[in-house]
Structure 1
């Protein structure tokens, strides 16, 4: 679907200004999509920005995932079980494969990104490490670390949600601007 969008966006929608993003598993899938477009189809530069909220980028359990323990929304046990269901028959070391854990991929050629995570999210390390690696690969990164926020905080009607949604709109508008259609 993403490849079709890249190849047909101008004819179908009158624009080549493509952005990608998601939250939690959607953030993971967004990064995997960018990597697969690049690695399997040689497509880079088609997406002008990636907006990624609290994604699980390292399915082998980063330190913050392992040490998070039992908490309400997302916790160590539910993450481990989710990864086992998503990658049946694979152990932790096999889950470090960049095909399923973009944290371990070569991130060269990816678009500018905004990566957001709360300090009370078991995926905190995933976002911090990904942002460092993304920037080291040559793309600009805006990192938003929200003090006291839990996994999925943007789903709740909170002041911090309004603030982050405003920053999201600003990032997407800026990333989407271009002289090209």
Structure 2
């Protein structure tokens, strides 16, 4: 559909137009949001000013429990609270848990490490601010797609090394960037014609301007033996597929409880294309069911 429209790639447009284009595609291709009891905009302190957040919940009030902290995708350059609004409502409804979506600073205006700094600051604030949230938080569940999947892993690394007020009990990266994707077969096989292209990835990398030596850029580096349980999914036709595969295998080899789901025949970004891709809603439901099963195992171990 996009090829027939003849629209330039995000790398060929001014940044503002690229962001508008992602929002427009979401209106065409994404499922409608779910009505929830609570949808409330908040802010928390960050390293460069207040960070916008959005709280979702199926209940006006609830007992103490974990909170999902969602970090959106978009190559660290495009993406925001509105584009991921519908997805967050579905995650909240299916898991029956509060979800807080983080509107971290974007490149090129705020290059690396602005995004991981903001996400870590938001996570620590959520862990220690039950009165501001109106909910007592007992555990954190970082979750995000693509660039947000990378940030999920990065922040889990940071909070494992230097714990927040409550622990990270599970992480849920969605088709993440975990290592140098250019070294993988999936990068060579699916870098053209499957929505996310080599040119787009190169553009995002240039704008993000990460330090290659910083472990927050390539978060798979190092040991992860003390990591929390992980639910991770990849797309079968995604140039990032093998990065997610490698990361799941890396955790499994270190004894981490991992549920890995690879959805064949679908492309990068399917979680926010659920109207356009008939299988995508079922794939999202499968990942959320895996998260529910993982949470049940975690709760069973803690009884």
TM score, norm. by length of structure 1? 0.81
Q: CA deviation at 1:65?
A: 2.3
User: Distance in 1 between the 2:138 and 2:253 partners?
Assistant: 27
Q: CA deviation at 1:78?
A: 1.5
Q: CA deviation at 1:45?
A: 7.9
Return 5+ residue gaps in structure 1 as ranges: none
After TM superposition, the structure 1 = structure 2 runs for residues 1-181 of structure 1, keeping only pairs within 5 Å, are 1-9=122-130, 12-39=134-161, 41-42=162-163, 46-59=167-180, 61-63=182-184, 64-87=186-209, 90=211, 94=212, 97-156=214-273, 157=275, 158-177=277-296, 178=299
Change (3 A) 1:132 1:113: same
RMSD of aligned Cα (Å): 2.8
Provide Cα deviations, 1:137-174, integer angstroms capped at 9, x if missing partner.
22111111111111011222334222222223223333
Return 5+ residue gaps in structure 2 as ranges: 1-121
User: Distance in 1 between the 2:164 and 2:237 partners?
Assistant: 36
User: Distance in 1 between the 2:180 and 2:231 partners?
Assistant: 21
> 3-state DSSP class of the match of 1:149?
coil
Q: In proportion to residue count, which structure has more helix?
A: 1
Q: CA deviation at 1:42?
A: 4.1
Runs of 4+ in 1 over 3 A off after TM superposition: 7-12, 42-45, 66-69, 174-177
User: Distance in 1 between the 2:203 and 2:188 partners?
Assistant: 12
The higher relative CO (CA closer than 8 Å, separation ≥ 6) is in: 1
The worse-fitting range, judged by mean Cα deviation, of 1-10 and 27-36 is: 1-10
**Structure ID, larger Rg:** 2
User: Distance in 2 between the 1:175 and 1:12 partners?
Assistant: 26
Change (3 A) 1:35 1:120: same
TM score, norm. by length of structure 2? 0.51
